């Protein structure tokens, strides 16, 4: 929930300009607040950056005051939508079942859902992190899922704790295997993103992990230099 009109336009323009020379294997998507999608979309038109949104409703239309449907997002040329973000799960009490319904709604509207999963500090400290992640995958991803999974280590976001490269590698490898087993597909079909307070400083080492297919960027996306710095780190890691 950041960005008024002037700030959002300025940021989008800087990102569009700054991404022009990146190699084609670097995929960039930004997900502005609902109020900025149309304006940001106009600025990104013709650029290499794809447009995403931060959430959607399960229904395509109806008496759901204050909600936004996947069809409405598609009408604004949105291509991706985040569902089940840890903040939505925490503050809006979203369940795995609801996330599943939102992912299905996104797919029906020809959007690519980015489904977020993650364990709390209590779950990790109790030694049930992998069990919890597997359960989220089994319940949050519909059988016809075609999209992206983002791993958010909730225990390492804003807590002062940091996920080590070994922890990220072990956990994302488990997620990749669990997704493949649940969807009965190979372990490369669904990209697995890492979303634990990623910065330009640590992005290259994270993106060098074989089981990590990208990053879900939070606070570092609010400034063009830091977001583009992560893109440059991706170029370094993948070249």
Give the CATH number, domain containing residue 221. 3.20.20.70
- Our answer to whether residue 13 is catalytic in this structure is no
158 is in an annotated binding site: yes
Which one is catalytic: 94, 119, 152, 169? 152
Nearest to 33 by CA among 73, 1, 72: 1
Name the residue range of residue 173's domain.
49-238
Length of the chain: 239
Q: What is the pLDDT of residue 196?
A: 87
Asked whether residue 9 is assigned to any structural domain, the reply reads no
Which one is catalytic: 57, 85, 119, 174? 85
218 is in an annotated binding site: yes
158 three-state secondary structure: coil
Asked whether residue 116 is assigned to any structural domain, the reply reads yes
Distance, in Å, from the CA atom of 193 to the CA atom of 212, rounded to the nearest integer, reads: 6
- Our answer to whether residue 152 is catalytic in this structure is yes
Asked whether residue 212 is assigned to any structural domain, the reply reads yes
Task: Return per-residue pLDDT of the chain as tens, 239 residues.
Answer: 999 999 999 999 999 999 999 999 999 999 999 999 999 999 999 999 999 999 999 999 999 999 999 999 999 999 999 999 999 999 999 999 999 999 999 999 999 999 999 999 999 999 999 999 999 999 999 999 999 999 999 998 877 777 999 999 999 999 999 999 999 998 889 999 999 889 999 999 999 999 999 999 999 999 999 999 999 999 988 88
Name the domain count of the chain. 1
Asked whether residue 195 is assigned to any structural domain, the reply reads yes
End-to-end, the C-alpha distance of the chain in Å comes to 34
213 is in an annotated binding site: no
User: Please, are residues 150 and 193 in contact by the beta-carbon 8 Å criterion?
Assistant: yes
Asked whether residue 43 is assigned to any structural domain, the reply reads no
Tokens of 126: 């109790």
Asked whether residue 22 is assigned to any structural domain, the reply reads no
List, edge to edge, every strand of the sheet that includes 148-151.
Answer: 28-30, 49-53, 80-83, 112-117, 148-151, 192-194, 214-215
Asked whether residue 26 is assigned to any structural domain, the reply reads no
Asked whether residue 121 is assigned to any structural domain, the reply reads yes
């Amino acid at each position: 929930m950041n960005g008024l009109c002037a700030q959002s336009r300025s940021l989008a323009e800087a990102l569009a300009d700054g991404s022009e020379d990146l190699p084609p294997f670097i995929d960039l998507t930004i997900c502005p607040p609902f109020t900025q999608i149309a304006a940001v979309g106009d600025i990104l038109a013709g650029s290499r950056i794809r447009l995403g949104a931060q959430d959607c409703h399960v229904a395509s239309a109806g008496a759901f005051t204050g909600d936004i449907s996947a069809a409405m997002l598609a009408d604004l040329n949105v291509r991706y939508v985040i569902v089940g973000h840890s903040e939505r799960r925490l503050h809006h009490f979203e369940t795995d079942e609801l996330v599943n319904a939102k992912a299905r709604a996104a797919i029906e509207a020809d959007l690519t859902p980015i489904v977020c999963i993650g364990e709390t500090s209590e779950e990790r400290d109790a030694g049930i992190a992998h069990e919890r992640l597997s359960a989220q995958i089994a319940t949050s991803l519909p059988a016809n899922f075609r999209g992206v999974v983002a791993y958010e280590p909730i225990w390492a976001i804003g807590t002062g704790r940091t996920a080590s490269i070994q922890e990220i590698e072990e956990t994302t490898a488990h997620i990749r295997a669990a997704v493949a087993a649940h969807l009965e597909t190979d372990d490369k079909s669904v990209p697995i993103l890492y979303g634990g307070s990623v910065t330009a400083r640590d992005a290259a080492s994270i993106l060098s992990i074989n089981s990590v297919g990208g990053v879900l960027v939070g606070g570092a996306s609010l400034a063009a230099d830091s977001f583009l710095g992560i893109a440059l780190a991706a170029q370094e890691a993948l070249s």
